[in-house]
Structure 1
Amino acid sequence: MEFRSVARESSAFQQPVSAAEIQEMCGRAFGAGVRVTSAVELGGGMYNTTYRVAAEGLPEPVILRIAPASERQFTSERELMRNEYATVPYLSTVASLVPRVLFADWSQEIISRDWVVQSHLTGVPAPDRLSAYERPLWRGFFAQLGEITSRVHSVRGGHFGPVAGPGFPTWSSAVFASLHSIADDLSASGLDAADVRKVAELAAEHGEVLDEIREPRLLTGDLWTVNTMLSPDAPEPVITGVLDLDRTLFGDPAADWTIRMAGAKQDERVSFWDTYSPRDASSAGAWRALVYEARHLGAIRLERHRLGNAEGVQESYVSLGKIVSALA
C-alpha cells in the first residue's frame, strides 16, 4: 500500500491513523477481501483527518474521514460527523453537489473515533483554483454560492438547534444554549469567557426578538470558498461540489456562517446577494445580527486557540468587545 500522512506534532489536534487501521476500516466498509492500494492524507481541513483511498475492486477513489477522538472535541463541537450524517436526508436540494455517504461507523471498535467513507467529488478545491481567474469572473462564483445557500435555507426543520440535536422549541433557547456551550469551552480551555457570557445575558433580556424567528430553516454552518470544489478546466468558475456540512443546524438563515462571510466585504462577493435575497435591514434584524456575530467570534476564538494562534485569540476580544458595547 502507498501510505502517506501529513507530518504533524504529537500534540496536534488532528492525528493520523495507521495503514493497517485504514485497511481494516475499508475491509469493514467494502468486504474483508478488499485490498487498499493507496491511502493519502489530505491536509486542507482543520478538524477531521481525511484520506483519499484507492482499493482493488473499487471503480474510483473514496474519501475516508476520521473524527477527532471524543476527548479532543469541544462541547460546542461534539460529534460533528454524526450531525453531518443526520443532515443527509435534508440535502436533496443540493444532492448533486454533496458527496454520497458509502459507509459510516460510530462503533469505535477499530479505532476509538467515528469515521465515514464518502464518494470522491470531482473538481479542484476553490482556494486552489479561484485565483487563476480574473477578479471580475469571481462574481459568478459568489452568485452560484448565493443560489446554493438559498436552496439549503429553503429546507424546513422540526426543531431549532443542531440537526442531530439537542433540539430546542424556540430559536432563543437554541441561541442561548450555543453561547453558553461556547463560553464553557472557552473557560475549560483557560480562556476568559466573560464577554461571551455577557452577550448571552444581554440577548436573554430581549429573547422575544430572537423568537420572531418562528420557522426553523436549515443552515449550512460552515459553507464558504474553502468548502467548495470548482471545475478544473471551465473558462469561468463553476462550483461542482460542496464539502463538510457537519456544522448544520436549524434556525434563522441570517445566523449562518455563509451570510456572515458574504457581508464581510464589499468586493466581488456582493454578487452573492443577487441570487440569494437582500439582507434584513430592520432594527430587529440588525440586533439579531450582532448576537450572531458574537456567537461566530466565540467559535472563532476557540478555533484560533486550538490552532495556537495567540494573536488571533486576542483580536477576538477586541472585536467581541465592540459587540458587547453595541448590545448594551
Structure 2
Amino acid sequence: MDVQPIERPAGSFQQPVSADRIQAVCRRALGPDTRVVSAVEMGLGMYNTTYRVTVEGVTRPVIVRFAPAPDRQFVSERELMRNEYATLPHLAKIAPLMPRVIAADWSHELVDRDYMVQTLLDGVPAAEGLSTYPRRSRTGFFRQVGEIARTVHAVRGTRFGPVAGPAYDTWSQAVTASLHDIAADLDGLGLDAADLRKAAALAVEHAAVLDGITEPRLLSGDLWTVNIMIAADAPEPVISGVFDLDRTLWGDPAADWPIRMAASKRDERVAFWEAYGERDESPAAVWRSLIYEIRHLGAVRLERHRLGGAVGDSYDAVAAVLAELT
C-alpha cells in the first residue's frame, strides 16, 4: 500500500494512522477481500485526520476520516464526528450536496478513534478554487452559501445545544454552557479564560435577552469556504458539495458561523444576504450577536493554540466586544 501522510512536527494535534489500520478499516467497511492501493492524507481539515483511499478494482476513491483520540479532544469539541453523524437525518434537504456515509464505527475495535468512511465529493475545494475566478464573479457563490444556510436554518428542533447532546431547555443555558466549556479547555492549556467567564456571567445576567430565542433551529456550525466544494472548470463558481458539518447545534441562526463570516466584510460576500434574507438588527439581536462573537473568538483561540499559532490578539478582540456589552 502506498501511504502518503502529511509531514507534521512530532506531537502535532493531528496524528497519522498506520497502513495496516487503514486496510483493516476498509475491509470492515467495504468487504473482507478489499485491498487498499493507496491512502493519501488530505490537508485542508484542521481537526480530523482524513485520507483519500484508492481501492483495487474500484474506480472511485473513498474518503476515510479518523477523529482525534478521545484523550486529545477538548471538552468543547467532544465527539464531533458523532455529532455530525447524528445530524444527518436533519440535513435531508441538502443531502444531494453531501457525501454519503458508507460506514461509521465508534467501537474502537480496530483503531482507538472514531472513524467514518464516506463517498468522495466531486469538484475542487472552494478555499482553493475561488481564487481562480475574478472577484466580481464570486457573488454567485456567496449567494448559494446564503441559500444553503437559509435551508439549514429552516430545520426546527425541540431543545437547544449540540445535536448529539447535551440538550438544554433554554438557549441561555446552552450558550452559557458552551462558554464555560471553552473556558475549561483554556484552563487545561494554561491559558487565561477570565474573559470567557465574564461573558458567561453576562449571559446568565441577561438570560432573558438570550431566551428571546424560543424555537431551536439547526445551525451548520462551520459552513464556509473551507467546507465547500465547487464544480471544476465551471465558467462561474457553482457549489457541488458541502462536508464536515460536525459542529452543528440547535439554537439561534444568528449564532451560526456563516452569519458571522458573511457579516465580517463588505465585499462580494454581501451577496449572501440577497439569498439568506435581512439580518435582525433590533437591540436584543445586536446584544446577542456580541455574546456569539465572544463564543466564536474563544473557539478560534483554542484552534489557534492547537495548531501552534499565536493567540494574543484574541484577548484584545474579546476585550473590545466585552466593552460593547458592558
Same structural fold, with TM-score higher than 0.5 when normalized by the shorter chain: yes
State the partner residue of 1:322.
320
Secondary structure in structure 1 of the residue aligned to 2:97: coil
2:83 and 2:59 map into 1 onto residues whose CA distance is 28
Amino acid at match of 2:113: R
CA distance in 1 between partners of 2:23 and 2:307 (Å): 30
Q: Which residue of the partner structure matches residue 6 of structure 2? A: 6
Measured in 1, the distance between the counterparts of 2:27 and 2:7 equals 26
Q: Deviations over 1:220-253 (max 9, x none)?
A: 0011111100111110000000011000000000
Deviates more, 1:190-199 or 1:52-61: 52-61
1:273 aligns with 2:273: yes
Residue ranges of structure 2 left out of the alignment (5+ in a row)? none
Q: Equivalent residue for 1:240?
A: 240
Distance 2:109 2:35 in 1: 20
Question: What does residue 113 of structure 1 align with?
Answer: 113
- The within-5 A match list for 1:1-328 is 1-310=1-310, 313-328=311-326
Which ranges in structure 1 are unaligned for 5 or more consecutive residues? none
Q: Deviations over 1:65-98 (max 9, x none)?
A: 0000111110000000000000000011110111
User: 1:53 deviation in Å?
Assistant: 0.6
Q: CA deviation at 1:58?
A: 3.3
RMSD over aligned CA atoms reads 0.8
Matched to 1:48, the amino acid is N
Q: Secondary structure at the match of 1:91?
A: helix
TM-score (structure 2 length as normaliser): 0.99
TM-score (norm 1): 0.98
Aligned length in residues: 326
**In 1: Cα distance, 2:7 partner to 2:14 partner:** 10
Instruction: Return the alpha-carbon distance in structure 1 between the equivalents of residues 36 and 202 of structure 2.
Output: 54
**3-state SS, counterpart of residue 116 of structure 1:** strand
After TM superposition, give the deviation of residue 122 of structure 1 in Å.
0.3
> What secondary structure, in the 3-state scheme, does the structure 2 residue paired with 1:289 have?
helix
Distance in 1 between residues matched to 2:64 and 2:297, nearest whole Å: 30
CA deviation digits over 1:147-205, x for unaligned, max 9?
01100111111210000000111111000000000001011110000000001111211
Equivalent-residue separation in structure 1 for 2:169 and 2:106 (angstroms): 28
The 1-side partners of 2:22 and 2:288 are apart by: 45
Cα distance between partner residues in 1 of 2:139 and 2:255: 23
Post-superposition offset of 1:57: 4.1
Identity %: 62
Superposition misfits of 4+ residues, deviation over 6 angstroms: none
Q: Could you tell me how far 1:106 is from its partner in structure 2?
A: 0.3
Partners of 1:128 and 1:212 lie apart in 2 by 39
**Structure 1 Cα separation of the partners of residues 24 and 114 of structure 2:** 14
Deviation of the 1:308 alpha carbon: 1.3
Cα distance between partner residues in 2 of 1:29 and 1:291: 42
For residues 154 and 107 of structure 2, the distance between their equivalents in structure 1, rounded to whole angstroms, comes to 33
For the residues of structure 2 that align with 1:146 and 1:213, how far apart are their CA atoms? 21
Q: Secondary structure at the match of 2:117?
A: strand
User: Could you give the per-residue CA deviations for residues 271-306 of structure 1, whole angstroms, max 9, x where no partner exists?
Assistant: 000000111110000000000001001111111111
* Separation of aligned partners in 2, 1:325 and 1:183: 19
